[in-house]
Amino acid sequence: MRVIYRGLAVGVTVAVAAVSLVFVLPQEPDGVAAGPIAAPSTPPSSSGPDPASSASSSPLSSALSSALSSGTPQAVAATAAAATPLASGPAATADPASPDPTSSGPASSGNVTSAAPRPTPTPGASLAPGYTAMEALYADARLPRLPEKVQRVPLRGAGKYVIRDRRSGLAVPRLGRPWKTYGPAPFTSRQVLPKARGTQQRGMIVTCPLPIEAQEHPRDTALLAARWTLNHHPEGATIRWFASQPVKDGWMLAYQVKYGKRTSRAAVAVVDGGMSKPGLVFVTVPDAQKKRWHDITRVVSGVRALG
């Protein structure tokens, strides 16, 4: 009988070892690599047995000891059979209290701050990247702020003879002598006065599609156009406003341009000619030819859309 008990004890020990291997080893070769890895919420104690392994092995060990001490082979065999179904059960049970390793937590909305309105630049101010065309205008020391109340000039009717500029969609008065048509480039039409003695500046009337970006209000567009015309005056030129008023389908500005000891009088008219961009009329006459200053009003008075 002792031999039989010893054989049963050896068999039970082998069964317990097989059950332990089932708990330790994964069911598939790559089961561990494929599963998510989460850090433990609390580190295990370095001293003492693992609580999980102790909890799972203590009941089985107690049952085997009781069966062996009872002295009956039937009790030992029943205990070994009761341990066998554990091998077919789930290898591990998810801890509901442990965090989901695939969860990234609540979505962060970020620091959303409303952009404070930027102050209007003053003449000569430096601008940060991303400034608008109007901010560049306000920061340009060559142009003073347009007063709220500016005088208007009386505008006459259109003359009998006109130049039709189909690219800008505008018709502009054709002035008689001493004005004459001239090669239009880089514009689309041009009339000029003969050069005055002792100066390189001379009167000029040009039309072209608007060379700048149009703004929501035609007055703002005209302001930017007047700033652009400084490219066709001597370096260092500055502006002083004379008049600002609406015209049919657009806006007109008249102003004085000063460069050194000399001056010119000029005007721009931005008019919608039915094209993809508004049309621009620009006229300037230097003080060396001031007898023709009255032609400036004739030009801006006679501008009209071709359509």
Residue 202 has pLDDT above 80, yes or no: yes
Average pLDDT over the chain, rounded to an integer: 73
Residue pair 212/133 in contact (Cβ under 8 Å)? The answer is yes
Q: Across the beta sheet with 170-173, what order do the strands follow?
A: 162-165, 170-173, 304-305
Predicted model pTM: 0.59
Specify the range with the lowest mean pLDDT, choosing from 51-60, 187-196, 201-210, 235-244: 51-60
How high is the pLDDT of residue 25? 42
In whole angstroms, how far apart are CA 142 and each of 60, 121, 287? 97, 14, 19
Residue 138 vs residue 251, higher pLDDT = 251
- Confidence at residue 109, expressed as pLDDT on a 0 to 100 scale: 42
Confidence of residue 112 (pLDDT cuts 50, 70, 90): very low
- Bridge partners (DSSP) of residue 205 are 191, 283
**Rounded distance, CA 62 to CA 159, Å?**
120
Question: Mapping DSSP to helix (H, G, I), strand (E, B) and coil, where does residue 180 land?
Answer: strand
Kindly tell me if the per-residue pLDDT of 293 is higher than 60. yes
Q: Which pLDDT value is given to residue 10?
A: 54
Q: How many residues does the chain have?
A: 307
Bridging pattern class, strands 204-209 and 238-247? unpaired
Quote the distance between the C-alpha of residue 236 and its chain's center.
Answer: 35
The pLDDT value given to residue 152:
82
140 three-state secondary structure: coil
Q: What percent of the chain has pLDDT over 90?
A: 45
Neighbours of 196 (CB within 10 A): 16
Report whether pLDDT(70) > 70.
Answer: no
Q: How far is CA 95 from the centre of its chain?
A: 46
pLDDT of residue 11: 59
Question: Sign of the CA dihedral 93, 98, 101, 103?
Answer: positive
Q: Is 192 exposed, middle or buried (0-12, 13-18, 19+ CB in 10 A)?
A: middle
Please tell me the predicted confidence (pLDDT) of residue 150: 76
Task: Summarize pLDDT for 113-124 with one digit per residue, the tens.
Answer: 445 555 555 555
Pair of tokens at residue 215: 């703004």
Whole-angstrom distance, CA of residue 207 vs CA of residue 273: 12
Q: What is the pLDDT of residues 249-272, one digit of tens each?
A: 999 999 999 999 999 999 999 999
Which has more pLDDT, 166 or 126? 166
In the structure encoding, which two tokens stand for residue 133, read together? 């065309």
Which helix (H) or strand (E) segment is 240 a member of?
Answer: strand 238-247
Q: What's residue 250's pLDDT? A: 95
The count of other CB atoms within 10 Å of the CB of residue 157 is: 7
Look at residue 90 and tell me whether its pLDDT is greater than 50: no
Which residue type is seen at 251?
A: W
pLDDT band at 21 (very low <50, low <70, confident <90, very high): very low
**Per mean pLDDT, which range of 30-39, 195-204, 223-232 is the poorest?**
30-39
Task: Identify the residue with better confidence: 131 or 180.
Answer: 180
Q: How far apart are CA 208 and CA 165, in angstroms?
A: 8
Q: In this model, does residue 285 exceed pLDDT 60?
A: yes
CB 136 within 8 A of CB 124: no
Asked whether the predicted pLDDT for residue 66 surpasses 70, the reply is no
Q: What is the C-alpha to C-alpha distance for residues 63 and 200, in angstroms, rounded to an integer? A: 117
